């Protein structure tokens, strides 16, 4: 059986070595030494000022909204995982959907300004499948209208844009370290910022508001992560270079074998260095997508429709007309891509795809 993704697990002895320290000192949670070590390692790896490990990527988004004191309308994308929208609603914000760019599948910056009202407080944009948003345009609009910018970078760990981490942009970027991600801690996530004061607020907010053991800096929740998760993350991090190289080889093979079909892929902005967390392709019609999916499933191969349907269909948001997002959501499919997917399996997947197009 071939699924759309597969969790990379480091050699068990490496994980045991990390866990031995946890067993010896008995420190399981509350910003233990492995959490601190992982945060520092991630800061160096990503080239950013502050990385704060949290329980998951959804809480990372909620903390970002709270730390920035965002209330009211938030311009966001209808083409992302549901957590991008549900986090806003959970924090009592009103998502205002703006359609996506048909080439990148990210929020279309050319449509953002028309959606701004006196109630608009922020822009939450997703680097979809790791493809950077129209960063310069979004940042310019945000400055012009005094808006906060949060980037949902759940798909973007390690992605670089114009020579530096894509996480350098916006007020906050949020990451998911779920087991399906390229870099993971089993369950987890992080908030990333270059703002010292914002980092201070995020730090106490993820720990019940504690300033120290006996005083509180403000309102907080329990969004901490554990030494058990951090140990896994430290092990995974050491294997990232070969994992990324392997994905590059598999993507190049997919591209080569699928070229005769002329299927659309997300267009990368100039200056983007990808890590390829996903391999999305856009079919000519939903009927074609369903035919290909059925053929693959019959061969025990299970791609996934990331992200279907459009978030405009959620029952707890206001109606919005985003025809490009609805169209792309109905036609996009992510093919299997993971560290030990064999080249022969890629060839078999492509053969089934090509034979099902006609």
**Predicted confidence (pLDDT) at residue 254 exceeds the cutoff of 80:** yes
What pLDDT is attached to residue 185?
98
What pLDDT is attached to residue 213?
87
For 36-72, write each residue's pLDDT tens digit: 999 999 999 999 999 999 999 999 999 999 999 999 9
Mean of pLDDT values over 93-117 = 98
What pLDDT is attached to residue 48?
97
User: Measured between alpha carbons, how far is 302 from 345 in angstroms, rounded to an integer?
Assistant: 12
What pLDDT is attached to residue 43?
98
What pLDDT is attached to residue 358?
76
Backbone angles phi, psi at 54, to 5 degrees: -135, 180
Domains, the chain: 9-237 (3.40.640.10), 240-357 (3.90.1150.10)
What pLDDT is attached to residue 227?
98
For 258-304, write each residue's pLDDT tens digit: 999 999 999 999 999 999 999 999 999 999 999 999 999 999 999 99
285: how many CB neighbours lie within 10 A of its CB? 11
**Which of 227, 339, 231, 239 is closest to 10 using CA atoms?**
239
For 197-252, write each residue's pLDDT tens digit: 999 999 999 999 999 889 999 999 999 999 999 999 999 999 999 999 999 999 99
**Which of 106, 247, 242 is closest to 169 using CA atoms?**
106
pTM for the structure as a whole: 0.96
Mean of pLDDT values over 18-24 = 95
């Amino acid at each position: 059986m071939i699924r759309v993704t597969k969790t990379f697990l480091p050699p068990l002895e490496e994980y045991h070595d990390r866990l031995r320290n946890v067993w010896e000192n008995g420190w399981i949670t509350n910003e233990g030494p492995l959490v601190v070590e992982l945060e520092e390692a991630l800061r160096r790896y990503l080239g950013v000022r502050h990385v704060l490990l949290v329980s998951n990527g959804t809480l990372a988004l909620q903390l970002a909204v709270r730390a920035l004191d965002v209330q009211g309308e938030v311009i966001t994308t209808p083409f992302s995982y549901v957590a991008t929208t549900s986090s806003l609603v959970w924090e009592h914000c009103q998502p205002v959907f703006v359609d996506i760019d048909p080439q990148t599948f990210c929020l279309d910056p050319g449509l953002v300004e028309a959606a701004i009202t006196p109630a608009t407080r922020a822009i939450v944009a997703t680097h979809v499948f790791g493809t950077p948003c129209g960063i310069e345009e979004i940042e310019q609009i945000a400055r012009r209208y005094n808006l906060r910018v949060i980037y949902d970078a759940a798909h973007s760990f390690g992605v670089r844009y114009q020579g530096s981490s894509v996480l350098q942009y916006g007020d906050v970027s949020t990451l998911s370290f779920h087991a399906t991600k390229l870099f993971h801690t089993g369950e987890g996530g992080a908030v990333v910022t270059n703002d010292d004061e914002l980092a201070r607020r995020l730090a106490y907010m993820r720990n019940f508001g504690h300033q120290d053991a006996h005083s509180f800096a403000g309102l907080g929740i329990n969004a901490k992560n554990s030494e058990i998760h951090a140990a896994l993350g430290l092990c995974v991090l050491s294997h990232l270079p070969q994992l990324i190289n392997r994905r590059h080889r598999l993507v190049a093979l997919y591209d080569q074998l699928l070229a005769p079909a002329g299927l659309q892929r997300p267009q990368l902005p100039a200056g983007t260095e990808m890590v390829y967390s996903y391999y999305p392709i856009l079919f000519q019609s939903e009927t074609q997508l369903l035919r290909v999916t059925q053929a693959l499933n019959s061969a025990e191969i299970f791609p996934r429709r990331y992200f279907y349907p459009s978030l405009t269909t959620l029952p707890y948001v206001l109606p919005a007309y985003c025809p490009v997002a609805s169209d792309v959501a109905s036609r996009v499919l992510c093919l299997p891509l993971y560290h030990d997917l064999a080249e022969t399996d890629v060839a078999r997947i492509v053969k089934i795809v090509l034979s099902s197009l006609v």
